[in-house]
């Protein structure tokens, strides 16, 4: 009998916190958001000649993508994982092709007769952990 200890499932998603409750990735995204906001405000003030207080909307729009990349987790995924999957899903033709069961290319699945040993193993507690498809 082996020793089993329950472990939280989210332990694989742990990220080391660098400053406060921010991971390195989040900290970089926040820093880039601040940098883009400051750069946009400087461009608007020095090149265009508009007061920064009157140009708050472009400043926020410049930093918003970085904030979203740092904090938003759609379906529990990071943004760089979500965007390719989202694009592939919506750019696909969304059609499924089915074959007829009378198609000769489809081989018939033959079921074998189960022996006593296999039936006892299936009734045993925890048998779902030892399904034949996962064994070699």
Domain ranges of the chain: 14-93
pLDDT for position 58:
95
- Stated pTM of the model: 0.57
Mean pLDDT of the chain: 82
Per-residue pLDDT averaged across 61-85, rounded? 92
Least trusted range by pLDDT, from 3-12, 71-80, 109-118 = 3-12
Tabulate helix, strand, coil % of the chain (nearest 5).
60, 5, 40
Q: Is the model's pLDDT at 136 over the cut of 50?
A: no
At residue 95, what are phi and psi to the nearest 5 degrees?
-125, 140
Cα distances (Å, whole numbers) of residue 89 to 79, 94, 106, 119: 15, 8, 28, 42
Per-residue pLDDT averaged across 54-74, rounded? 94
Of the candidates 65, 78, 64, the one whose C-alpha atom is nearest the C-alpha of residue 24 is 78
Q: Both tokens of residue 10?
A: 């989210």
Q: Is the model's pLDDT at 99 over the cut of 90?
A: no
Q: Which residues pair with 19 in a beta bridge?
A: 22
């Amino acid at each position: 009998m082996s020793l089993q200890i329950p472990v939280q499932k989210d332990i694989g998603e742990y990220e080391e916190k660098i400053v406060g409750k921010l991971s390195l990735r989040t900290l970089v995204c926040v820093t880039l958001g601040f940098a883009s906001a400051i750069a946009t405000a400087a461009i608007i003030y020095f090149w265009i000649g508009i007061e920064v207080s009157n140009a708050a909307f472009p400043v926020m729009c410049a930093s918003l993508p970085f904030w979203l990349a740092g904090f938003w987790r759609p379906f529990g995924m990071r943004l760089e994982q979500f965007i390719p999957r989202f694009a592939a899903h919506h750019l696909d033709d969304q059609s499924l092709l089915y074959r007829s069961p009378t198609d000769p290319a489809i081989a018939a699945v033959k079921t074998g007769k189960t022996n006593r040993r296999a039936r006892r193993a299936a009734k045993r507690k925890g048998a779902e952990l030892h399904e034949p498809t996962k064994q070699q």
